[in-house]
Structure 1
Amino acid sequence: MVGCERRRSNRLFLWTGDDLMKMEKQLVTGWAGVVVLLTSLRLVGTNPTTYGWFGGLAVLTVVLVAWQITRVLASWRGDNLTVKATWWLVWRHWWRWGLAMAWLTLLTLPFGLWGLSSRLLVRLRLPVTLINFVGLHRHVLGGIAIMGYLVLAIAGGYYLPRFLRRIAPYPLPPCQKGWWRSGWWGIGGGFLGLFTAELLVGVAWWSGSRLPESFGRPMTVGLAFLIWTVLSTVGVWLFIGVLRLAGGQPAAFGSPWRLPDWRLLILLILTGGLNAWQAVNQQPQFMATAIISHRGVDAGHGVQNTLGALRHVSKQRPAYVEMDLHETKDRHWVVLHDENLQQLTQRSVMPHDLTLKQLQRLVVRENGYRDHLVGWETYLRAAEAKHQRLLVEMKTTPQDTPHMIQRFASQYGQRLIHDHDAVHSLDYRVVTRLKQKVPRLPVGYITPFNWVSPRSVPADFYSFQRISLSQEFILAAAQQRINTYVWTPDTSVAMARMWALGTNGQITNEASRLRWVVHQPVATQRWAVLQNFVLSYI
């Protein structure tokens, strides 16, 4: 390992100081160009309906990355390739570059892809049948995906040094151990950059309630620009470090403070400034928020989906009480979330194993409270008596009777419309069948994770999963004038972040806390915009 580093390093002693400075400036200029294109992709990709420009910039970015890596490999041998020679080498290995970029994209997609993951996924359109199959079998398929990801990461890490030697302008001695060291380099540098970005978010949080709005917004834009600068710089140098260590090279080459060509530097500052301005001012943001009580519980008062919890939470006057329905053995419905009653009753039984009367005799315990399961008809009458609107989640299982959804629509469709209630489900078949039977009933689709264009699954509203939600998915729905709800933010930080993203409502177990958060002055919550900006990169 040491020997191969020395052989390659000795070539550099033949260079003059001017040669080194010229090479460093060219390499830094190349990386600056990559950052400009990536930032431009973020800017253009914000609009989910823009395909042509986004695709063109994506291809150009991939080509420039390949060009830049080729020049880096040449610099290891002390050679300053001409532009023509560099392009020829990229074209010669075009299929290897295609595989490498596909591997890199798949590997970084779950971690933000430098802020491009959601911009790619929101454009992905797939058949409804496939989307519904993945959603209904997400636990099994998720485990398979994790195993596949680990295999992809390990295989890619093993073959990365070989790939670099294949595409290098000159033969490079094998240095396998460099890859494993590069992993530690990447982890340490990544945490350093993230820590610095979070410090800047903390500055925004501290100053939010201390500065006037006229000064607070420009300061937020400035902090966003600094965050972009930190993340871009750390990202480039981590990538360089991975390349050099994977090839058995030192972690740095020359001065890290060398500036690119001044014209490109101006373009870099402009794109970074536009990116920061867009992040702070992009709409929708801080919309009027519907407070939706998840499973009818607020702050742990009562047992989920019971009359006791409904009576308590209805005093808070939430926009909706979200509750769940399962079909019973005798073709009625019980208000219940879990498919197995083990957690609430310490009995391993399923709703479809018992009749409604048998289920109503069971005592359920949670949060230090005890209550009884309740039938759907009884729960609905209680909500109507309190003039409380409901958001009904229809649960489906393989044991459901045929035409269950059509039967529910016939019995309760018009009544739910009269009460201004709504229905949503993780099973897209529920959405389509209810809309066919009761077109005026608001029916939404619950996304277990956000990975395809909302246009692939048309609905009256969307209940987005919180962890993978980004503003691009909300904007895609807003462009169709469709409301978006998010489940389930329970902390003040998560609620502020979702409010900053521009959701129309939040389904939460802490309705009272959410009411307090959304009544805070917007100026004191702009830190949440920066927090979303940071998280979009990772």
Structure 2
Amino acid sequence: MHKWWQELRRSWRFGLMNPGLLSGWLGVALGGLSLRLVGQLPNTGWLAMAMVILTGVLVAGQLTRLALGLVTGRLPRWRLTGHLVAKYWLRWVSGLLALAVLALPFGMWGLGSQFLVHLTLPADWINFVGLNRRTVLTVVALIYCGLAGYFLLWGPVHFHHVLPIGSRPGTVKQMATGLGVSALISGLWLMGSEVLVVINRDLAVSRGVACWLVSGSLAVVLLGYLIGVGLLTVTLVWCWCGQPVISGQVKPTARPWLQVSLVLLVGVAIGGVAWQTVRQQPQFVRTLTISHRGVDQGVGVQNTLGALRHVQHHHPDYVEMDLHETRDHRWIVLHDENLRALAKQNVTPHQVTLAQLERLVVHENGYQDHLVGWPTYLRTAERRHQKLLIEIKTTRQDSSGMVARFAKEYGSRLMADHDAVHSLDYRVVRQLRQRVPQLRVGYITPFNWVAPRSVPADFYSFQQISISHQFIQAAHRMGAPAYVWTPDSVSAMTRSWALGADGQITNEVSRLQRVLKEESWHANWAVLQNFIFSYA
């Protein structure tokens, strides 16, 4: 093990510090940083695509030289490198695309959201995925894990012929060890970045100090990321090539002025990304407070009148609540499709009438209350002048005319109350917008993976775990507000605020109101945290 570690350190010194390879790494870093900068600007699709192609060629050439250098102990000339890349260009394109797909769930080097936010698909496809998200996610996760395991562990055996480097391919054990080292490197970067978040949160004593702290921290995080990616790339390529012993040292092949110029350009690009993150994103805008399921701090049972009366004392901008159709084609205020959790009865709303449901007692958080019908809930909210955000739940048992009846019976009334409706089912969104054009109707994203313009709506309720600045900006370009669900911790609330969310749907309204009373510069640490998550 000691010998293995010594050889790995030698490969790091060779792979990163050799002048010929260092120039290539600086070029790749400059390409990636430039992509990040350009991707934040509007109407730069053609330029971004050209830069993607150029960066891909740089990566292919750099990996070719790295692999040959690690095996032979000396770098090939650029003419040979170009010949090999051209000869195996189709395999290189396939390999780089595979790497991009594997990296997509982990931010894809900070470019994941910039790619997904431009991915346009038919609305019916998106709706199918959203309504069957558990099944789809399970299948996708299994396929992803299978492909990742095959490509990363058995890849050297099956794809070693991409480069005629004349060495034995890495074994599964070697690749697993390399992946473990890579995970350790990534973990150290993440831990160090989180330390900087704590420093920004605790040492920001004034607006000026907070601004300088976050700017410097962004640069340090990004520099650490570039170094970490270089280390883990050399590690994986070294293991892929069968962990060869580097036979010798290489004479410098790059001119010092070139390296100095590239270092300066990379430094400028890092500063540009930091400046763009701090100055150009619309952070800390006016944020609506929206009570999720009509509760606050667990007081009362969700979607009941008792919870509504309690949360209304905090004067949220909206109370979000849920509707299910009943057996007699009316509506009950209820989130779950089955009453096992709340009423200890294995029954669904479609199996009983509204009157039967209203007699049921539900329990949650040590409280109990009766289920309430939609007409009663709406009247109570109107008497208290409380605006509602209604989520219409759908199931396969819903009547064919459910949305049309809802629009006819309540469309005008909800408009007069300045209420809004949203749904996970895009068919509901589409029908309501057609039947009641003046009613504000939004689409709930179960996860953020396609361009919002694929599913046009008056506003969007974005899932909080995978939300990013790019998705919020995409909604704003359509003139649609962007709400986030369900940030409940101070950290999640502050990060959503920093991203520029127009509203937050939360179970902790009073906590959110306290967060929003803070001076925005106190929350600059959240800008850094969001930046880290975009690369993690």
Structure 1 residues 400 and 251, CA, compared in 2 at 3 Å: closer, same or farther?
farther
* Alignment-derived partner of residue 368 in structure 1: 366
Q: Does 1:121 align with 2:116?
A: yes
Letter of the aligned partner of 1:195 in structure 2? M
Tell me how far apart the structure 1 counterparts of residues 145 and 370 of structure 2 sit (CA, whole Å): 45
Deviation at 1:22, TM superposition (A): 11
Judge which range, 244-253 or 195-204, deviates more.
244-253
String of CA shifts for 1:294-324, please: whole Å, max 9, x gaps.
Answer: 0000000100000000011111110000000
Normalized against structure 2, the TM-score is what? 0.94
* Alignment-derived partner of residue 140 in structure 1: 135
Q: Is the 8 A contact 1:165 1:171 kept in 2?
A: no
Q: After TM superposition, list the pairs within 5 Å mapping 1:235-246 onto structure 2.
A: 235-246=229-240
Q: Which residue, out of 435, 452, 455, partners 2:453?
A: 455
Q: Which residue, out of 484, 487, 496, partners 1:486?
A: 484
* Alignment-derived partner of residue 525 in structure 2: 527
Structure 1 residues 81 and 435, CA, compared in 2 at 3 Å: closer, same or farther?
same
* Alignment-derived partner of residue 192 in structure 1: 188
Matched residue of 1:305: which SS? Answer: coil
Deviation at 1:59, TM superposition (A): 1.3
Matched residue of 1:41: which SS? Answer: helix
Q: Which residue, out of 334, 337, 340, partners 1:336?
A: 334
Any gaps of 5 or more consecutive residues in structure 2?
Answer: none
Structure 1 residues 159 and 95, CA, compared in 2 at 3 Å: closer, same or farther?
farther
Tell me how far apart the structure 2 counterparts of residues 22 and 448 of structure 1 sit (CA, whole Å): 41
Tell me how far apart the structure 1 counterparts of residues 155 and 388 of structure 2 sit (CA, whole Å): 54
Q: Could you tell me the percent identity over the aligned residues?
A: 47
* Alignment-derived partner of residue 167 in structure 2: 172
Q: How many residue pairs end up in the alignment?
A: 524
Tell me how far apart the structure 2 counterparts of residues 418 and 201 of structure 1 sit (CA, whole Å): 45
Q: Does 1:28 align with 2:22?
A: yes
Letter of the aligned partner of 1:62 in structure 2? G
Q: Does 1:156 align with 2:156?
A: no
Q: Does 1:230 align with 2:190?
A: no
Structure 1 residues 406 and 235, CA, compared in 2 at 3 Å: closer, same or farther?
same
Q: After TM superposition, list the pairs within 5 Å mapping 1:8-407 onto structure 2.
A: 24-47=18-41, 49-76=43-70, 77-162=72-157, 165-176=160-171, 177-208=173-204, 210=205, 212-249=206-243, 261-407=259-405
Structure 1 residues 250 and 270, CA, compared in 2 at 3 Å: closer, same or farther?
farther
Structure 1 residues 254 and 492, CA, compared in 2 at 3 Å: closer, same or farther?
farther
Letter of the aligned partner of 1:28 in structure 2? L
Q: Is the 8 A contact 1:240 1:251 kept in 2?
A: no
Tell me how far apart the structure 2 counterparts of residues 348 and 154 of structure 1 sit (CA, whole Å): 41
String of CA shifts for 1:310-357, please: whole Å, max 9, x gaps.
Answer: 011111110000000000000100000000110001111101000000
Deviation at 1:23, TM superposition (A): 8.0
Tell me how far apart the structure 1 counterparts of residues 178 and 245 of structure 2 sit (CA, whole Å): 9
Tell me how far apart the structure 2 counterparts of residues 5 and 100 of structure 1 sit (CA, whole Å): 28
Normalized against structure 1, the TM-score is what? 0.93
Q: Which residue, out of 474, 477, 481, partners 1:476?
A: 474
Q: Is the 8 A contact 1:48 1:123 kept in 2?
A: no
Matched residue of 2:375: which SS? Answer: helix
Letter of the aligned partner of 1:442 in structure 2? R
Judge which range, 239-248 or 467-476, deviates more.
239-248
Deviation at 1:161, TM superposition (A): 1.5
Judge which range, 148-157 or 240-249, deviates more.
240-249
Give RMSD over aligned pairs.
Answer: 2.4
Tell me how far apart the structure 2 counterparts of residues 4 and 166 of structure 1 sit (CA, whole Å): 25
* Alignment-derived partner of residue 515 in structure 2: 517
String of CA shifts for 1:144-186, please: whole Å, max 9, x gaps.
Answer: 0011011101110233213663133431123313211111111
Deviation at 1:2, TM superposition (A): 12
String of CA shifts for 1:428-478, please: whole Å, max 9, x gaps.
Answer: 111110011100000000000000011111100000000000000001111
Q: Is the 8 A contact 1:477 1:483 kept in 2?
A: yes
Tell me how far apart the structure 1 counterparts of residues 194 and 16 of structure 2 sit (CA, whole Å): 35
